[in-house]
Structure 1
Amino acid sequence: MLIDSHCHLDFPDFAEELDAVVDRARQAGIGRMVTICTYLTRFDRILAVAERYDDVLCTVGVHPHQAAEEFAVTTVEALVERSRHPKVIGLGETGLDYFYDKSPRDQQQEAFRRHIRASLETGLPLIVHTRDADSDTMRIVKEEAAGQPVKGLLHCFSSGRQLAEEALDFGFTLSLSGIVTFKKSEELRDIVKDVPLDRILVETDAPYLAPIPYRGKRNEPSYVAHTAACVAGVKGVTPKELARVTTENFFRLFDKAAA
């Protein structure tokens, strides 16, 4: 089976046909889907989706775009408390986005630090969003870790080789989205060639970033099979082997999901 390690099933894009979207994923061999939290104040909505389907899990966290809007409610205590639910397997998505700068950078950074502290307290992995913030991302993780192990992944990885190597050296995993299938993504595919197979996950980030041949359309979890096939080709393994390895990687990182 394959696992879509990052999608947004609570988004309005899926409201009219969520059952059909989940059913298509199942028919495509997607064994688990993780619906990702971006607003702490909307956590109940994310959790409701996860509780509706046996094969959907979720996270709790605040996207850097919402760091300012949700700053007051984004406390370590709030994250830890919500993470106790059996369906919650990770913290995020959190991180830094200096491309859009929708929240002041100091608030993005502090919110990110709070997620890292919650990760250290709970042992749950971080789901990290980083865009045009390569140097600050791992610096902040290392500062908060202070020598302690932190589990996590860089979601929708599309940054440069230096960040990839630094994250891998720290023990993080890289999650690959439909971007890896795009014609312009030759540099990313070159990086992926050198990433160990046991440190790769695949995702859709649905409803965004649909892979070839669906680029420009609404993405959905079933399409992760196309991303996985591309990654398999880059790594020189069969799609079946890529599915097996990435599934093992997922349950090793998100060990609460395997409990």
Structure 2
Amino acid sequence: MLIASIGKRIGPIAQLLESQEFAVLKLIRYGQDDSDTLFDEVKSITPDIDVSIHVIDVPTLDDEDAGGNIPRDLFKQLMDWTERSPNAKVCVTGGTPWLSHTLHHAATLANLPVIVSTHKKVEGSEMMFRYPKPLETERMKTILMTGQRGRVNILMHIEERGRVTIPELSDVMGVSDQTISFILNGRERGASKSEDIVLLGLTGIEEPLIRFVGKRETGERGPKAAEYELTEFGRDVTSLLRESN
């Protein structure tokens, strides 16, 4: 599911629609005007998507209370929409600055990942950036800071090197290749059901911190070594860990 602030045209989210990544689209905007045009533009890009438009009232100077309630109402709406859509994302590239900022605030409260973009007339090019769930990032940092120092050191080393192999990590950490493999890929022995980070490893948890990217020649006899790098979520968590050290 994609939830997006939008104005009169679909342009700000066209790139996302072209990816065919989303089956459901919820558009948030002011007023009913041009709704048919928006529907037509969406369907011309991705004909099979389930699209609906959620209209909110424009805040006025003589109704500040109503304007202040809009973020809370949006938060409740986001929670209702995403209850059965754990992979939903919020895009704030369209609509007025007030609308996009308000949706961004509501998405943060709802712990939803947010998509933002640069503007060609301001930054010189149009690029989209995906920011992870803020509460999930903080939660993972807390887990790692509590009795997981070895894993923290591994994340920081990978951040510094970019890509690393298991033998390289074992040399730096002073432990066996097997131990590093367990940390990255998980192990069941000796782990309780609640210890997902131990059971599944840094690559196997629901939101992986590290990903396998291929195999590399080591310059020595034998098979190629598995190579790993941080995921986007892993980079965000590692940045928080560095700030906490």
TM-score normalised by the chain length of structure 1:
0.31
Larger Rg: 2
Task: For CA contacts below 8 A with separation 6 or more, give which structure has more relative contact order.
Answer: 1
